[in-house]
A and B are shown apart, each in its own frame.
Chain A
């Protein structure tokens, strides 16, 4: 229902939206500005994008980012879905349920830096004990999976909760075996939730900086780390192009995630 609002509210709302988008727009505009330094507009150009795609470091970082995201999403989706299933479909005693819920919520409420610090400590200890777990892609994957599991479990769990018991009981009444029930009834209904969880985990991995930063090695740089280190050295217009590209990719992913969850609204 449309309501009349005080004009101050409208103005404040617009100011807020400007605040949210100003930095992104500035970067996007500068990425097509043909001036190398400064803020003067010298004409539209795509040459920074071309230079970017020829930059070996960027391509390597991009590759790492993708490998990391795909691998961690795959592991986290499987583990997170199983976690949600086990959590919802077994009669846990109260203390166990509370403990498990606590463990699932922990990554969500811990500030990134505490979590990253804990990982540094954990890997330092594992290195002392076994000699493996050097900083690199492996430690990064482990770090990402750890916080992704929580998100996947949350998304899948809420979908599971909305399914209810009737379908299971109806299928059992019709002599379905538990395996058949799972394969033909539960899983297809759960699929949208699993996909949504996976996409969420994927986006989170792509955007993650803090955890990657603390678990990375010099040759397992990801795009966010690359941008961060480049910023400290000095800005080149390629960075604008890179940032704009990343933002566009993320926007596309998020919008398709929105479309997906909207379609399956039951």
Chain B
């Protein structure tokens, strides 16, 4: 017979508790297993299968999808797919950098206000985050059209040929991505900034440290957990972005997300799409690893 134990004021056995726990969590756990974990595993497996003539999957092991990704197509070697992958990493990296650069001042600004104003400001930052991504991308497309003031100004300054807008184009994509990822970066950073020990900063200033040194030695180390969380939360979605580049980048500007969408949508090449997805996963993890390597603080993410 199982040992009796006291649990939340009840006298029961461990076995009975686990049985109850399994009953409660079982439904959701099975659901997640069936529709999340298993499909991901199957997708990983399909990446190694061949794509049949009529769109079905032929169950034989092949590395063809990955070779195709690396450029060994039927018409000789072309770096198209590699270009897309590299561009995605670059865009995600730049987006993360810009988001962090903009999030720091904003976090400081909010933290320097009075208690009531802080909540209001945080709310103001969060609201666009809760609106639809498609609508926000749409808004940027509208703002950056060739007949709107911003593009007209660029045309007048000679930065753009007449009649062309900032949208569609790479700059539009960057603007759209930064503005959609910003709230992800601001929140964790703000949490860290709010907890800053200002006495350390004041001490550095008292010792005549230049502003850069104050930042690098007094502020940066203290906000490292928040910074780390902010980079992770920005980099992952940026790598997998597809709505923003699709709507703002025009037909020629493809990122990994668009490539995957093509395979799972009209292209109907599931194995290749799975292979690209795996590549995305690997790249994302690699990128995160590199980013984390710059600030090794164990349980940093938990702190933020």
Contacts and interface: CB of A to CB of B under 8 A. Distances in A.
Contacts of B138: 23, 27, 227, 231, 239, 243
Nearest to A9: B105
Given A3-B112, A113-B257, A165-B9, A120 B264 contact: yes
B292 interface: no
B157 interface: no
A148 to B, nearest CB: 11
B162 interface: no
A109 to B, nearest CB: 6
A227 B265 CA distance: 18
Contacts of B182: 16, 19-20
Nearest to B117: A2
Interface in A252-266: 253-255, 258
Given A113-B242, A172-B10, A224-B134, A17 B21 contact: no
Nearest to B186: A16
B33 interface: yes
Interface residues of B, number: 93
Contact of B135 (A4, A27, A203): A27
8 contacts: A17-B106, A19-B175, A21-B128, A23-B138, A27-B135, A118-B277, A224-B134, A251-B127
A145 interface: yes
Label chain A's interface by main secondary structure: helix
Interface of A: 1-5, 8-10, 12-13, 15-17, 19-27, 30, 38-39, 79-80, 82-83, 85-87, 89-92, 100, 103-104, 106-107, 109-122, 124-125, 142-143, 145-146, 149-150, 153, 165, 168-173, 178, 203, 206-207, 209-210, 214, 224, 227-228, 231, 235, 239-240, 243, 246-247, 250-251, 253-255, 258
A76 to B, nearest CB: 9
B132 A39 contact: no
Given A23-B136, A114-B240, A118-B40, A90 B31 contact: no
Contacts of B17: 89-91
Interface string B128-151: 101111111111111101011100
A79 B247 CA distance: 35
A150 B35 CA distance: 13
B264 A117 contact: yes
A122 B38 contact: yes
B21 A23 contact: no
A11 B20 CA distance: 56
A119 B35 CA distance: 7
Contacts of A83: 24-25, 27-29
A3 B108 CA distance: 10
B290 interface: no
B218 interface: no
A106 B131 contact: no
A100 B265 CA distance: 32
A122 B39 contact: yes
B111, B138, B179, B260: residue with the most chain A Cβ atoms closer than 10 Å: B138
A4 B205 CA distance: 14
